Structure 1
Amino acid sequence: MKFAHWLLLGCVAAMPLCASAQWQWIDKNGKKVFSDQAPPPDVPDKNILRRSGSPPPARATVDASNTDAPPAADASSSAASKAPKPTGVDKELEEKTKKAEAEQKAKEAAEAAKVAKARADNCALARQGKATVDSGIRIAKVNAQGEREIMDDTARAAEQKRLQTVIDSDCK
């Protein structure tokens, strides 16, 4: 019974080794392709990044087909110039960012329009009230106790001053 357990444990431990038989290459569109099968014959050898059973290549290695190439820095720069360079920009993220910025601008524009409309309404009401106060007709107001009282000259002057400050601030 213990032998069967050890055999099962050995099989489970060996399973990841089967997965290492992976191919990696860059297709004609410049995208990395991972597969357990060899790439199609139209893929050039320079675009095959990893072969079945071989470890992934180190970044500073020299291409095997180019034996007289200088090592390290020149080899990595020549390999980098042959392979398509990643842009480092995620298109979906860029679109989401643009959409969020557009929504934010739309919200700000709507809020600004709302404020402008409120100011225009306040301006119209203040001008109408000032015209009424300036006309000299008797104006009655309701006080805090709910009683109706007629505005005297000092109350009329204070109301004119208040309405003029509203006009000055909102009517621009």
Structure 2
Amino acid sequence: MIRPAVLLLALLTALPVAAQIYSWKDKDGKTHYSDIPPPSGPVKTLRGTPVAAPVAAPSGEQGEAEAAGGQPAADEGKPKTLAEREEEFRKRRAAEAEAQAKAQEEQQREADRQRFCEDARNQLAALSSGQRMARMNAAGEREFVSDEARAADIERLQRQIDENCLN
């Protein structure tokens, strides 16, 4: 029973030590002491960590800051609220997702281009080999590729490879 009472007494005596005490003079020259700093003017911290005096922005500057950026100039030094940080986080996530989608789309295009180049080179090699080739016509019958058609296909494939394939 004595130990909890001693612990409670130790905690209660430590609370006032953590409090800050401020001293300032008002416009009449009267000195004031308080644990709450005044809204404006020079402040002297008697106990605790020193705190800079809050300075009210002149109405002209504050109005200009609100018109230019939407928020008053006094908010620039304040930490961001949870909602603001969450909004920034969501914007970053959306930008990252968009960048990842673009990169994935670019990879897919590159893979498709590589596949096209490989197929075109294989067709060109087959046409250039000189072996006899056949195709199906519109009626579904098999017909052999003529030398003129072979030369036109070789020229077409070579042009596509030159235009679309880097190596």
Tell me the TM-score normalized by structure 1.
0.53
In 2, Cα distance between equivalents of 1:153 and 1:103: 53
Shift >4 Å, 4+ stretches: none
Alignment of 1:1-172 (within 5 A): 42-46=35-39, 78-80=55-57, 85-87=74-76, 90-172=84-166
| Runs of at least 5 residues in structure 1 that lack an aligned partner in the other structure | 1-40, 47-62, 67-76
- Residues 111, 122 of structure 1: alpha-carbon distance in 2 compared, 3 angstrom cutoff: same
Please give the root-mean-square deviation of Cα atoms over the aligned residues, in Å.
Answer: 2.9
CA contact (8 A) 1:119 1:170 kept: yes
Match of 1:7 in 2: none
Distance 1:169 1:43, change over 3 A: farther
Q: Distance in 2 between matches of 1:86 and 1:95?
A: 20
> Does the CA contact (< 8 Å) of 1:123 and 1:171 recur in 2?
yes
SS at match of 2:148: helix
The Cα offsets for residues 103-154 of structure 1, whole Å up to 9 and x where unpaired, read as 1110010000000000000000100110110110001111111111111111
Aligned length: 104
Pair 1:102–1:112, CA change in 2 (3 A): same
Could you say what secondary structure the match of 2:143 adopts? strand
Q: List runs of 5+ in structure 2 lacking aligned partners.
A: 1-33, 43-53, 59-72
